[in-house]
Amino acid sequence: MSHCKYEQPRHGSLAFLPRKRAARHRGRCKSFPKDNAANPPHLTAFLAYKAGMTHVVRDLDRPGSKAHKKEIVEAVTVIEAPPMVVVGVVGYIETPRGLRALTSVWAEHLSDEVKRRFYKNWYRSKKKAYTKYASKYSTDNGKQITRDLERIKKYSTIVRVIAHTQMDKVRIGQKKAHIMEIQVNGGTISEKVDWAREHFEKTVSVGDIFEKDEMIDVIGVTKGNGVEGVTARWGTKKLPRKTHRGLRKVACIGAWHPSRVMYSVARSGQDGYHHRTEANRKIYRIGKGDDKSSAATEFDLTAKRITPVGGFPHYGEVNEDFVIIKGSCVGVKKRVLTLRKSLRTHTKRSALEKVNLKFIDTSSKFGHGRFQTKEEKKAFMGVLKKDLVEA
């Protein structure tokens, strides 16, 4: 039969073509929120590391819903976000062909973890990066640095700071810092540059940028799955059981003419490790690393930290500032994520809802956890044989 007997939506979206491995490991901000000069200068993005997932209990405040004023259980993701260090500023000029970088100004002192980013092999290098540049601060009382900052104030229309993560604060098996440009919004161009200059070699915490109940975007690279066939990669229908030469295939990959396979036909290949932006992730809590009761609520009897009993699987302990967002997010554990302020103006009730957590689960994520803290487990189990051996 030559005509189409059945009609149905296609399998898999063509919006994400080409489905190949991401060019960069760190999520890239391709755009930043719209600037408003009436606000004070502030950053619009932050780098953090995915630790793992848990669940929370809260009362839903959504009039009209069947679950209104009832307890609901929701999955959440914990993202560790140690303070970032500002080490430079870049001024951009808007041209008909897009943005053009006018000039960059770096801080006088850079840590080794950010210098590692400039070398392929830190061990064999002479570690001389930016030693000549740093001398600009001592010659002529930093006249050239001041001149470059004034040029940015005079000609630039967009100002972004260069900031890097502190790798000694997180235990992900890496010493080389992740570095990115973060746009400064709010205030005049002169105020932006002054703000950036004042923050050279200083830290900025995640609580300075985001706040509770805010909607943010999470940008990162998804979990890689290697080469997959069409059934897993595109979700095509499996062929009947008795099909010759396999059934996880596409039966017809196109007409005789045109005598080529069209781009829209599902084919096997790379699955996962794709660059993705997830919009509208609600922040449920921003916790401090030094807070002994960072996972406690007003309903909890005992103080407890966000790290579950035994630590997050494949990650470990969360000892720095962290963000709890609703639902899942891209990437595996330890993956660097870019958290960005939302590009949209939110009006939905679910986006504007004030969240009050009643319980955050910190039981073991390795098996069926029963206890919220190590002390609670010890009180229930009593003295064990291993305790006597250690004693």
Residue 160 has pLDDT above 70, yes or no: yes
Q: Per the structure block, which two tokens stand in for 91? A: 């001024």
pLDDT at 3: 66
Q: If you average pLDDT over residues 71-99, what whole number do you get?
A: 97
d(CA 88, CA 184): 12
Residue 68 burial (10 A CB sphere; 0-12, 13-18, 19+): exposed
The answer to whether 180 and 90 are in contact (CB under 8 A) is no
Element (H, E) at 128: none
Judge whether residue 215 has pLDDT over 90: yes
- In this predicted model, what pLDDT tens digit does every residue of 257-306 receive, in sequence order? 999 999 999 999 999 999 999 999 999 999 999 999 999 999 998 899 99
Convert the pLDDT of each residue in 347-377 to its tens digit: 999 899 999 999 999 999 998 999 999 999 9
pLDDT in tens, 297-336: 999 988 999 999 999 999 999 999 999 999 999 999 999 9
- Closest C-alpha among 90, 13, 16 to residue 274: 16
Cis peptide before 258 (omega within 30 of 0): yes
Nearest to 45 by CA among 289, 219, 187, 255: 219
**pLDDT in the model for residue 8:** 86
Residue 79: beta bridge partners? 50, 323
Q: What would the pLDDT profile of 6-30 be if each residue is shown by its tens digit?
A: 888 999 999 999 999 999 999 999 9
Tokens of 55: 């669940």
* CA dist., res. 313 & res. 306, Å (int): 13
The structure's pTM equals 0.94
CA distances to 8, 82, 228, 258 from 261, in Å: 20, 49, 19, 8
3-state percent helix, strand, coil for the chain, nearest multiple of 5: 20, 25, 55
The bridge status of strand 98-106 relative to strand 158-164 is unpaired
3-state secondary structure of 275: strand
User: What's the pLDDT band for 386 if we cut at 50, 70, 90?
Assistant: confident
Write out the E strands in 81-157: 84-95, 98-106
Can you tell me the mean pLDDT for 221-234? 97
Residue type, 368: H
